[in-house]
Chains A and B, each alone.
Chain A
Amino acid sequence: MTPFYILQTDVPEVIDRIPGAYDHFILPYCAGIIFCLCWLGVGLVRVIANLSSSDRKALLLSFVNPVLIWKNLKDIFCDCLLHTKIWKRKPLLGFMHSAIAFGWFLLIVLGHLEVWLFAPRHLYLDNGSLFYPIFYRYFIWMNPGHTTLRGSLFFFLMDLCLLYVLAGIGLAIFKRFRSRLLGMKHTTKPSLMDRVALYSLWGIFPFRLLAESFTADLAGGSFLTLPANALLRFLFGDNLHFMPWWWAYSIVLGLFFVSLPFSRYMHILTEPLLILLRNAGIKVRHPRKGYAEAEIYACSSCGLCLDACPMNVQKKNLRFSSVYFIRFLRRHNEKKVNRIADKCLQCGKCLALCPVGVDSPAIRRRQRAAYNDRLAFDYSALKAPVPGGVSGAPVAGGGTPAPAGGKVMYFAGCMSHLTPRIIKAVLEVFRKAGEDFVFADENGGLCCGRPLLLAGKDRAAKTVIEANRKMIMESGCTTLVLSCPICLKVFKEEYKLQGIEVLHYTEYMDRLVAEGRLTLRKGEGSFVYHDPCELGRGCGIYDAPRRLVEGVGQLCKAEKEGDESVCCGGSLGSLTLSYDDRKRITAGALDNLLVNHPDRIVTACPLCLKTFSDASSDVPVVDIAELVAESTARV
């Protein structure tokens, strides 16, 4: 038993056990890490070189902006090491990821700290800084009876971290066979190189434990390695069998680093780069180069998007999930990439659930645009609507004077014109609130441009957007109310309407209620609210519609809601999804909504309303505007 105090201060605590601090067993590891670093360097140059010059400038500027520096550090720490995003949704899975990432990180940092404290000259490149801190326990001999409290603390911490990582690895191995118990229904099929990297990753820490245990009586250890050392000595009769284990440890490390650039584990090293690029405000411009390349390599292929994708109510559609889209992009498999890109509903759930934040819907749109943007179009005959219809006069609201807020414009959009019940209800609410408003496209208007953007016809979309924008800016309105979330998203993101507030009608009605201009009568009915993709995940509006529903009745919960809400299946995002596949998605979405047996389904999107109305035979589907209109008395 070694005492935890200093006997003689002039005697060194750590003595070099191996003269020259070198042994051949480090070679596999060194080869692996050197190869990996070279590969990374080339990759980094490629990504930066493929950014546009303005994006490069934005990236450089982000490095001197204190707010962004803090955000970068925080995001890298929380996302790459602690994996807070996974913790929030699936705690066990979060523990597994953070144990491996943060635990390994701590092992590396503490290992270097130990070397810095006890053998600082080995932190120089000519003294083996590349491998010495990794295999520190092999090279040293603890002077018996001279271990300080400081040294013991490090032994304890290193063993604790090793246990932490081993717990994560244990869960990971368990997950490979029983993913459902960790909250994942489907997991990805690993590719060959994924398997090589995976099995070497599984091997690294058990081999490290064995190797350090064998030398624990020489190099020191704590609660994990010392008992293991005693056990091994008991099993083998002596402790001279350590060499194979240090070789094995080095070989699996080397193998892991060699396979890393070709496997899913590339995300460990690419994610920090992606965070830097994203925080600098860089957007995806090309489906394969620059920012997209960083996203492709940052994808951890974890498969959380498999359970997220609404298409996967049918198992045959698993292959169209984001994880496989990214995988085929990485492999330059153009044919499969195009097929998968066109299939996606653009509901954005994979992005909402992605722990890395890979915006694969955006990459898919860029992939679509790569061909479709070239297609010819002729919009010369189309005219932007005249606000107020052919009569040209604004539709006055019930003779009440206009409120001080300024003029309000209502833009219904194509889909609302297909579901006139929404328009009727919205107009009724406008009149009941005594709002002075203009109905922009009462007699037909232009499309908002979002469906064209979703199909990749960017130039055509720009033409339509410009015409609508001119009409709105010239009308002199200060508030624009929309009844279609598809329109809302593009109006907010692409129209650049300076000085005009763009609101969805749920936000607008919620405000009317808050201002006391609209009074809701609370009834008996129970409702479930369906978050439309473009309204919830697209524009982040979750609370206003719920407040309105709670104002008129009892709000039930759906199985999955908020940013995990399931697409209704009617989305304009998909270009190739068949009618039958859509019907299956709608049925799945309805099952999700009806778990708590509500009286009615409420939604806030004309497309969802139409899709659900066609499919739901037992439970009636209504729009929030209808609900508000029927339970409002005039103030």
Chain B
Amino acid sequence: MIDFGFYLTPSSTIDLDKVDRKAVDDLARADSGIRTCIACGSCTASCTAGVFADTSVRQAILSVLNGRNEKARELLSSCMLCGKCMMVCPRGINTRHLILSIQKYFDGQ
């Protein structure tokens, strides 16, 4: 690897050759919210489950975009679909549908 004089920690490295872009495209077809999200974090701030467990729609969307599908699944496994994130989303994303779509897409993988 070329030495640029700086490097990313391995945990933050995204290898675009290995990232599964198919998941992003498929999910965008199921719910365009994955592309309209501006990662403002309102969803995470209002999350009911987030008080107890690492739950975040924002992070889940970013994880899918970065090819960390397993992380996305984990981040949403404690979601109770209460819908607060949907009410606060400034982009009008149907977060409950997006969460269900992500859960359905990675179901059994």
CA distance A376 to B82 in the complex (A): 17
B41 → chain A closest CB, angstroms: 15
Interfacial chain B residues near A383, Cβ < 8 Å: 52
Please, could you name 16 A-B residue pairs with CB atoms under 8 Å apart, sorted by A?
A374-B107, A375-B100, A376-B77, A377-B77, A381-B53, A381-B54, A382-B80, A414-B83, A415-B83, A417-B48, A451-B80, A451-B82, A451-B83, A455-B81, A572-B81, A572-B83
Contacts A451-B82, A460-B80; A578 near B48 (Cβ below 8 A): no
Contacts A371-B104, A375-B104; A382 near B83 (Cβ below 8 A): no
Interface residues of A in 438-490 (CB under 8 A from B): 443-447, 449, 451-452, 455, 457, 460, 464
Stretch touching chain A among B18-26, B61-69, B87-95: B87-95
Contacts A444-B48, A446-B48, A578-B94; A379 near B78 (Cβ below 8 A): yes
CA distance A376 to B106 in the complex (A): 10
CA distance A142 to B81 in the complex (A): 75
CA distance A461 to B55 in the complex (A): 17
Contact A577 B80 (CB under 8 A): no
Q: Bits for A120-162, please: 1 = Cβ < 8 Å to B, else 0.
A: 0000000000000000000000000000000000000000000
Interfacial chain A residues near B93, Cβ < 8 Å: 579
Q: Bits for B27-52, please: 1 = Cβ < 8 Å to A, else 0.
A: 00000000000000000001011011
CA distance A240 to B52 in the complex (A): 89
Closest B-chain residue to A372, C-beta based?
A: B100
Give the A interface residue count (CB, 8 A).
Answer: 38
Which A positions have Cβ atoms within 8 angstroms of B?
342, 371-372, 374-379, 381-383, 414-415, 417-418, 443-447, 449, 451-452, 455, 457, 460, 464, 570, 572, 575-580, 607, 610
Interfacial chain B residues near A578, Cβ < 8 Å: 94
CA distance A452 to B82 in the complex (A): 7
A28 → chain B closest CB, angstroms: 52
Contacts A378-B78, A418-B46, A447-B82; A577 near B103 (Cβ below 8 A): no
Interface residue tally on B, bucketed by range: 20 to 34
Contact A376 B103 (CB under 8 A): yes
Contact B53 A382 (CB under 8 A): yes
B51 → chain A closest CB, angstroms: 4
Q: A378-B78, A455-B100 are in contact. List 12 more A-B contacts (CB 8 A).
A: A375-B103, A375-B104, A378-B77, A382-B53, A414-B82, A418-B87, A444-B48, A446-B48, A446-B80, A452-B81, A457-B81, A460-B80
Interfacial chain A residues near B81, Cβ < 8 Å: 447, 451-452, 455, 457, 572
Interfacial chain A residues near B100, Cβ < 8 Å: 372, 375, 455, 575
Interfacial chain B residues near A382, Cβ < 8 Å: 49, 52-53, 78, 80
B68 → chain A closest CB, angstroms: 17
Contact A381 B104 (CB under 8 A): no
Q: In this complex, which of A376, A414, A445, A610 has the most chain B Cβ atoms within 10 angstroms of its Cβ?
A: A414
Closest B-chain residue to A443, C-beta based?
A: B51
Closest B-chain residue to A455, C-beta based?
A: B81
Contacts A371-B104, A376-B77, A378-B77; A451 near B94 (Cβ below 8 A): no
Interfacial chain B residues near A375, Cβ < 8 Å: 100, 103-104, 107
CA distance A447 to B48 in the complex (A): 7
Contact A579 B80 (CB under 8 A): no
Contacts A414-B82, A414-B84, A451-B82; A444 near B103 (Cβ below 8 A): no
CA distance A374 to B84 in the complex (A): 23
CA distance A374 to B107 in the complex (A): 9
Q: In this complex, which of B51, B83, B88, B92 has the most chain A Cβ atoms within 10 angstroms of its Cβ?
A: B83
Interfacial chain A residues near B52, Cβ < 8 Å: 381-383, 444
Contact A377 B78 (CB under 8 A): yes
B38 → chain A closest CB, angstroms: 15
Contacts A372-B100, A382-B78; A414 near B107 (Cβ below 8 A): no
Contacts A376-B77, A382-B78, A579-B94; A418 near B51 (Cβ below 8 A): no
Contact B107 A452 (CB under 8 A): no
Closest A-chain residue to B74, C-beta based?
A: A378
Q: In this complex, which of A342, A374, A575 has the most chain B Cβ atoms within 10 angstroms of its Cβ?
A: A575
B100 → chain A closest CB, angstroms: 6
Closest B-chain residue to A368, C-beta based?
A: B100
CA distance A342 to B54 in the complex (A): 28
B85 → chain A closest CB, angstroms: 10
Contact B51 A444 (CB under 8 A): yes
CA distance A415 to B84 in the complex (A): 7
Interfacial chain B residues near A607, Cβ < 8 Å: 87
CA distance A375 to B99 in the complex (A): 11
